[in-house]
């Protein structure tokens, strides 16, 4: 296969006004990579021109997977990285998009993986898929967050929630406050997004007991705190950020010693 173009694809079908619609999702290496779609509304007799599915066009997108649920909703997952071409230090995340009209339009993408990660293998493998039953969408992907090798990770979401498009006001209200790895070992970084309101960041154990006060005050610009996992209890802990109109909780697995 030519190194200038590599294609990973799967074909899916669903009903469009009584007809049979198809969508093929692939990753085309033409400079940067994108998730491309090809759609038919007449049982495959004619096809539209290829179009880009992903809404983030910086960096690269690869290894797309598409799936129709029993109600006609179209679900697409793919890897995104801000780096292209990639290297051993490139950061990846798994993203997701929903279409209510069989690929004619897509909702804005959301991140499925609860943290970013590197890949510990040059080839991540074909270990990504999304499937659904009558209630949930299920996703599996390859993830190198544990620091040693790649593992398979799993997540699920209610179909009824995925089919609701989040408007700009909703997205602004629920903008992420904190960014940090979900597995702590040794020195870790806690990124705090800009917040004009008074912000409290605390850590609790699984019994709900307060075990650490991390930050109190306004964040006029982005802030990064350096923490040491040995300063907190080993096991599962919860990082909680709260201000006047926002609350955010992140579950952390604290391994302690580096």
Query: Which residue, chain included where needed, has tokens 């903008």?
Result: 175
Q: Which of 101, 21, 12 is nearest to 64 (CA)?
A: 12
pLDDT-above-70 percentage for the chain: 81
Residues 81 and 146 in one domain: yes
Residues 99 and 210 in one domain: no
Decide which of 132, 162, 192 is a domain's last residue: 162
Torsion of CA 157, 95, 127, 21, to 10 degrees: 80
**What CATH number has the domain bearing residue 110?**
2.120.10.10
State how far the alpha carbon of 189 is from the alpha carbons of 118, 180, 217, 227, in Å. 16, 6, 18, 6
Which of 147-151, 236-240, 245-249 is predicted least confidently? 245-249
Residues 100 and 134 in one domain: yes
User: In this structure, are residues 214 and 239 in contact, taking their beta carbons and an 8 Å threshold?
Assistant: yes
What residues are paired with 60 via a beta bridge? 81
Q: What are phi and psi of 15, to 5 degrees?
A: -80, 135
3-state class of 83 per DSSP? Answer: coil
Task: Please determine, for residue 210, whether its predicted confidence score (pLDDT) is greater than 80.
Answer: yes
Mean pLDDT of the residues in the chain: 80
Number of domains in the chain: 2
Q: Which of 194, 209, 219 is nearest to 240 (CA)?
A: 209
Q: Please give the residue range of the domain that contains residue 70.
A: 10-162
Does 4 fall in a domain?
no
Position 10 scores a pLDDT of 64
Q: How many CB atoms lie within 10 A of CB 133?
A: 11
Q: What is the mean pLDDT of residues 59-81?
A: 88
Position 110 scores a pLDDT of 92
Question: Mind listing the pLDDT tens digit for each residue in 86-128?
Answer: 787 888 899 999 998 888 899 999 999 888 888 877 767 678 8
């Amino acid at each position: 296969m030519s190194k200038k173009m590599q294609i990973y694809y799967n074909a899916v079908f669903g009903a469009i006004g009584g007809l049979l619609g198809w969508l093929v999702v692939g990753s085309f290496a033409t400079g940067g990579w994108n998730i491309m779609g090809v759609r038919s509304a007449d049982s495959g007799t004619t096809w539209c021109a290829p179009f880009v599915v992903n809404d983030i066009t910086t960096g690269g997108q690869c290894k797309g997977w598409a799936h129709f649920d029993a109600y006609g909703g179209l679900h697409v997952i793919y890897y995104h990285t801000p780096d292209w071409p990639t290297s051993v230090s490139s950061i990846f995340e798994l993203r997701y998009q929903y279409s209510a009209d069989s690929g004619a339009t897509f909702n804005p993408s959301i991140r499925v993986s609860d943290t970013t990660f590197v890949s510990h293998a040059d080839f991540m493998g074909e270990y990504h898929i999304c499937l659904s039953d009558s209630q949930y969408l299920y996703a599996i992907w390859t993830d190198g967050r544990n620091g040693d090798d790649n593992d398979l990770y799993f997540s699920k979401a209610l179909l009824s929630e995925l089919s609701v498009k989040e408007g700009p006001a909703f997205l602004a209200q629920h903008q992420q406050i904190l960014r940090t790895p979900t597995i702590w070992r040794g020195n870790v970084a806690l990124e705090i997004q800009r917040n004009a309101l008074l912000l409290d960041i605390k850590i609790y154990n699984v019994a709900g007991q307060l075990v650490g006060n991390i930050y109190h005050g306004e964040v006029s610009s982005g802030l990064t705190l350096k923490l040491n996992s040995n300063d907190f209890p080993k096991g599962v802990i919860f990082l909680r950020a709260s201000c006047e109109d926002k609350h955010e909780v992140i579950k952390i697995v604290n391994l302690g010693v580096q």
